[in-house]
Structure 1
């Protein structure tokens, strides 16, 4: 029972985290490419970006000011700019490996171990390729991986 609950929570968290990472990454790109912005510009930009990537996860009715500044909770923006996207890159890679494992466990494990053996000696796209997955963040590929996660979550009941 606890294992089932933990699996469901993990998969649901993936589905919430990926859009938030996209929001934060896009927002910090906006911040650095618009150096003359002010607080009002920042609030408006965040609202637009959040609506694009994170729409539907939370209801901010009556909390508009808080919503416009919720990005401030993400300390990565202040402490390690442009690092947060790494979480999505790693998560999407893990999902793709898991998907491969569900399709062909032996081959997926072999490719995964081969990729691990490369360490940091190759560029990330080559490591992903060695693992049998794509280094691809296109809408179509991300949708494919998200659909896989949703299907696995649904199987859990």
Structure 2
């Protein structure tokens, strides 16, 4: 479970990095001050408030620079979130019907690089759906399990 919820691929970080890189690349003439202001606004938007950043303002203002995806493979980071949603949906399916889930998973793997991602998800018996309602549905499935594991 630790791999699913790691610091670099938690939903908060994925959303923050994805939104920030969209801003960066759609505002090519931005200044350092504008970049810092936008970063802080996006951090605030997606922050859970669980971390006390008092005394670390300068570090936090430049925190985006540690995310090499922004420089090396722009717009790739969101794929971690998409993969996590697929993994959670497959896990849920497995908990409901192990044999069917494994058959679906193997069928999807056998079609890799020949179908669209949406078609692969359909073959796996899961939805390719990034809507807030579906993400909440998956979160509602996994939250009690995380809570149970934490106790």
Work out whether the TM-score is over 0.5.
yes
Cα distance per residue 1:46-78 (max 9 Å; x no partner): 111112223324221121121111011101111
Cα distance per residue 1:93-152 (max 9 Å; x no partner): 111100111111111111111111101100000001111111111111112222222211
RMSD of Structure 2 on Structure 1 (CA): 1.8
Pairwise mapping of residues 34-73 of structure 1 onto structure 2 (< 5 A)?
Answer: 34-73=27-66
Distance of aligned partners of 1:13 and 1:144 in 2 relative to their CA distance in 1, 3 Å threshold: farther
Alignment gaps of 5+ in structure 1: 1-6
Contact 2:20 2:42 in 1 (8 A): yes
TM-score, length-normalised on structure 2?
Answer: 0.90
Structure with more helix by fraction: 1
Distance 2:7 2:119 in 1: 24
The equivalent position to 1:100 in structure 2, one of 93, 116, 127, is: 93
Distance 2:124 2:68 in 1: 31
1:113 aligns with 2:106: yes
Aligned residues: 150
113-122 vs 51-60, which deviates more? 51-60
Distance 2:77 2:9 in 1: 15
Distance 1:13 1:149 in 2: 15
Residue 11 of structure 1: how far off its partner (Å): 5.2
TM-score, length-normalised on structure 1?
Answer: 0.87
SS in 1 for 2:10: helix
SS in 1 for 2:129: coil
Query: Using CA pairs below 8 Å that are at least 6 residues apart, which structure has the higher relative contact order?
Result: 1
Alignment gaps of 5+ in structure 2: none
Distance 1:81 1:11 in 2: 22
